[in-house]
Every structure is written in C-alpha cells, then in structure tokens.
Amino acid sequence: MRRKLVVGNWKMHRTREANARLIEGILKGRPFAGDVVVCAPFPFLGDLAAMLKGQDVALGAQDCSAHEQGAHTGEVSASMLAAFGCRYVIVGHSERRADHHESDKIVADKAKAALAEGVTPIVCVGETLAQREAGQTEAVVTRQLSTVTHTLAQHISKIVIAHEPVWAIGTGKTATPEQAQAVHALLRARLAAVTPHASELRLLYGGSVKADNARSLFSQPDIDGGLIGGASLKASEFVAICKAGA
C-alpha cells in the first residue's frame, strides 16, 4: 500500500523568524501517518536543515538546475541541495513553466539531475483553465508526463508526480475529488505503460488543498497526498492536512 505524502511548498514567502515558529508548530503536530516534506526558498535551507535534523519531517527545495555545475549564474545544482540534506525537490511547477518558460524537456532534465544526486524529484504536470475548458486536459498532462518518462526511462519509478491544475492554484477553486481522481487515474495508466512499478508511484494533487477538503481528496484511490501551497504557511492548517492523510 502506498504511504501518503504531503509536501508544503512555501514559494517566495516567510522570514527566518517566521520559519522557526512554523517548523515548531508543524513538529508539535506529530505524529503523522504518512510522510511530510517542507520545500523552502534556497536561502533558508541551511536553517531548516538544522531545525529538521533528526526529525521525521523531510527537507525539500523548490527547484534545481538541470546542470551539474558551471557558469550558470543564479542556478542551484542538485548536488548543492543534497549537501544541505534535501531529500526532495519540486521541478516543473506551473509557476516555473509560466514565469521562466520552462519546457517539458527542461523539466525532465531537472528531474534526471536530481535523481543523479539521490534527491527525489516531485515532477509537476497540469492544465490551464483554457486547456481544461477546451477538453485538452488529457493531451496536456500526457505530453508533459511522456517527456519525463522518455528521459528517465527505467528510473521513472523513483519519482513523485504532482498534478496541479493551474486553474485551481491560489484561486480558491478546487477540482472535485472525482475530477482530480479522473486525471490521477489517467496518469497512473500512462505510467503503467512504461513501468511495472506504476502501482507503487505516489501521485499528489496540488490545487487549493485545505484542511476541509484534504480528506475527501486523499481518500481517492489514485491520490496519494498533496502538494500544498498557501495552506502550508500556517502550522495548524498544514498539520490538519497532514493528518487527513491518515
């Protein structure tokens, strides 16, 4: 049986002082039935590595470079993340794809770079509102996933997939559990075509997940947890979501 996974994506928020209070609140909320990860901005990784040392909440980053090293000003490599104790990294978030024009190939290369350093990539796929209304959801997420499966080949079983419908991020809109499950079932079927381990891969939902809808979402057969944005910035809300994974 797949273990639930809840990932907090802090995005470009918080201060050092606020981080300490947030982590304290999250740790007080344990135990959790599943795995919990917090993905912080790069400058805070050192602080969080110290706070989470020996704890059962894992550290993650919000992005990494596709390059191992070199003249890539402003980039952060997967090996640097691993050196700080990051066990997970988000790649291909819709905001990176939109704001930085990241292609499916770049996202796949980032996932490959992360795996090479022993860091688990959380690969994001998802459709915009226009694409959904045009009936293109299946084509869009299949295209995004196919590039990753082709690039990673036999290593695809080592990643996490997060479906984040762009129209439901920070808008207050949320896919119904049935809508979310339909896309997750599609993703798992596509994975089954390329790996015998498809039933073991964890698929997360990321789109305005909150304490009051987490349980109904996480109870769906192909939804194994969530990629949480705004709700991960409040300890009580995030803890409630983590406990919904039970």
Residues marked as catalytic = 93, 164
Q: Which residues of 92-125 are buried (b: 16+ CB within 10 A; e: fewer)?
A: bbbbbbeeeebebebbbbbbbbbbebebbbbbbb
Collapsing DSSP to helix, strand or coil, 42 comes out as helix
Within its chain, how far is the Cα of 129 from the centroid?
Answer: 20
Collapsing DSSP to helix, strand or coil, 228 comes out as strand
Tokens of 14: 């918080």
Query: Token pair 């295209």 is at which residue?
Result: 143
Amino acid of residue 91:
V
Is the bond preceding 43 in cis, omega lying within 30 degrees of 0? no
Q: Which residues, 6 or more positions from 154, have their beta carbon under 8 angstroms from its beta carbon?
A: 195
Contact call for residues 157 and 178 (beta carbons, < 8 A): no
